[in-house]
Structure 1
């Protein structure tokens, strides 16, 4: 497992438990930032084949049974709205007929391919096709894989739809992120954000993210954003808000789905649930500064498809009582 982990791309977890049916399934390595699950198998290649043909001990699960469990579990824990790739890494090789069968199920097979004798080939061919999973897409076969050339590339499909949270809308239009970050405010939080803005301007990050993307805002986020603008937005911030909203599509809230099942309390607020639930329903990336919600959702077993950025608050009307920290550039 250590050898396989050392060549994994962007690993995020080791021996990670996932809820599966009434129990849990442990994935040896979660890599590609969550897009791939790897199971490391260190059994003799011939033994694996024999067990898969029913020649194991009573109640002993075959590698085919394990493949079934991993594939079904992956469908319950989507990454960017797709099941993670399931990779079985055979440290001591795998016989060709069994490797082909696993690939037909949808497993990506790694390890040395070993020829099987005629008896094994015949027995493997006779296994009923009805035992196969109903997988619509057959994964490509990688017939010559070693630890130095593992194909663990992340999902190639890029999500082109962005769902903006209220915190992102505020960060985009605030004076602080539009050239007025040189103040010391009476509010320590604003002063801290201005310092963060001088070190790492947020607007270029968001502009780069928005490029070539469709942008949506759910009705709840729109209503909350406009209420905040109406109450504490300065004239320039209000103008930027209206200009930004001309470029987005307002969509109805989604009030169902797994995100809406999160228990309210602490960092889980109803407004945030609606924003993230709408993003998930639209299969978009939710853009937000609400790191607390994302962490709390993870604690309840929900992984959000999200782009997190630093927070920025509206600052224009606070400038009247602020002092210059540096001369404007």
Structure 2
């Protein structure tokens, strides 16, 4: 029985799929280059790593048909707020062939044609650009062909080269033996045509700036200046760029036009959970008062949410959320879509106390309201219970403006990630309205 069991186990593990995976995993240099890229601060919203992407809608009848209609992409992510696919090559430049080289190599040109075809045929994961990372550089011939036949341009991205990092807590150190510097690496971008939804807010892209602050903005600045900036709410407002402008129109820019572009403003999209967290009594000094309130009174007030609120109160005492959010929002212009403004005002009206309502009025004066304008790729995600339409509108509007969305709705973020679509989000801890 023991022999049969061992023999059966060997037969199970010794499949063609396992052989293929083993063969694919021996290229340590390639994996090292992939990890090197993933560690860069400009890489966010990673949704897939070293996985095939169907070049058309998957057949799903057999694994063979799915594999046949797929292309290999090393990283699906956002790069400087733009959705991109990254292809990594760790080959010696002498062996990066442009044309087909018998049966051993299909050639870089053929592979790029396949990848671009797949990029055009998918809506959810459609990138603005294909980014090519050659860890050892490339020959002059391939460089010229990339530019001539695919319109590639070299990206001047500054990648950090130190891969040794002490992890949180100081207990572990991430050490890479014989760590490479990748000093010879070169990075190219190939734009993917047909992407129309990506826009950038700024004076040259159809946003009209107010030449002078309106009365509301002046009042806000005076209030924040006069009041104690040790107060978390006012400190957060002081860290944010006031969005005193109105949108005339939203001009469409080409895919990938803003990779590495630092000329425009840095925007951040706030969903309803973020606004509630900013104005909540829990975030604004009511923790001790809530803990001093008799339990039966709190249970009567919050009903089934009592435990939820108490957990938030204890979390706030240990780590105040407004200081954390101020660090994220610092120097950025906050935007909200019309749906968020409507939902936020309704919730505060029904559940907020007088102080929470006052803070809500203040924060809305500091934000720019934009039309509900979800990106095409977000609306291409099938609407389900976990991927509700209202959330697709909110997050899709941030995606449309290439602004990260700050949110506590991680269930939606995980559901989007499972579709394979890269989405730039920033998580914050949830807070509830308390009637303060």
Per the normalisation by structure 1, the TM-score is 0.71
Q: Indicate yes or no: 2:110 matched with 1:65.
A: yes
Q: Are the counterparts in 2 of residues 176 and 316 from structure 1 also a CA contact under 8 Å?
A: no
| Partner deviation per Cα, 1:7-28 (whole Å, 9 max, x = no partner) | 5143565422334345332224
Partners in 2 of 1:133 and 1:269 — Cα distance?
A: 38
Q: 1:241: which partner in 2?
A: 360
Q: Indicate yes or no: 2:76 matched with 1:37.
A: no
**Higher mean C-alpha deviation, range 265-274 or range 25-34:** 25-34
Query: In angstroms, what is the RMSD of aligned CA positions?
Result: 3.7
| Partner deviation per Cα, 1:123-154 (whole Å, 9 max, x = no partner) | xxxxxx5xx1244x444699xx993234589x
| Partner deviation per Cα, 1:52-110 (whole Å, 9 max, x = no partner) | 345524x962122223434565676899x8535221346xx8654234434x2xxxxxx
Summarize the Cα distance change of 1:255–1:212 in structure 2 as closer, same or farther, 3 Å threshold. closer
Partner residue of 2:405 out of 280, 286, 305? 286
Partner residue of 1:133 out of 146, 150, 172? 150
Partners in 2 of 1:263 and 1:310 — Cα distance?
A: 27
Partners in 2 of 1:213 and 1:73 — Cα distance?
A: 35
Partners in 1 of 2:74 and 2:419 — Cα distance?
A: 21
How far did 1:174 drift? 0.2
Q: Indicate yes or no: 2:384 matched with 1:265.
A: yes
| Equivalence map 1:113-152=2 (5 Å) | 132-135=149-152, 137-139=153-155, 147-150=180-183
| Partner deviation per Cα, 1:154-194 (whole Å, 9 max, x = no partner) | x6446711111000000000010112223345300001111
Q: Secondary structure at the match of 1:265?
A: coil
Q: Indicate yes or no: 2:142 matched with 1:98.
A: yes
Q: Secondary structure at the match of 1:15?
A: strand
Partners in 2 of 1:82 and 1:53 — Cα distance?
A: 26
Q: Are the counterparts in 2 of residues 16 and 30 from structure 1 also a CA contact under 8 Å?
A: no
Q: 1:107: which partner in 2?
A: none
Aligned pairs, how many?
A: 280
Q: Secondary structure at the match of 2:150?
A: coil
Q: 2:315: which partner in 1?
A: 196
| Equivalence map 1:1-329=2 (5 Å) | 1-6=27-32, 8-11=36-39, 14-22=49-57, 23-28=69-74, 37-40=86-89, 42=91, 45=94, 48-49=96-97, 52-53=98-99, 56-57=102-103, 61-70=106-115, 82-83=128-129, 85-89=131-135, 95-102=139-146, 104=147, 132-135=149-152, 137-139=153-155, 147-150=180-183, 156-157=260-261, 160-182=266-288, 183-184=290-291, 185-186=298-299, 187-254=306-373, 257-317=376-436
Q: 1:326: which partner in 2?
A: none
Summarize the Cα distance change of 1:303–1:192 in structure 2 as closer, same or farther, 3 Å threshold. same
Partners in 1 of 2:385 and 2:402 — Cα distance?
A: 26
Per the normalisation by structure 2, the TM-score is 0.55
Partners in 2 of 1:221 and 1:212 — Cα distance?
A: 22
**Higher mean C-alpha deviation, range 225-234 or range 13-22:** 13-22
Summarize the Cα distance change of 1:316–1:40 in structure 2 as closer, same or farther, 3 Å threshold. same
How far did 1:228 drift? 0.6
Summarize the Cα distance change of 1:17–1:257 in structure 2 as closer, same or farther, 3 Å threshold. same
Q: Are the counterparts in 2 of residues 181 and 194 from structure 1 also a CA contact under 8 Å?
A: yes
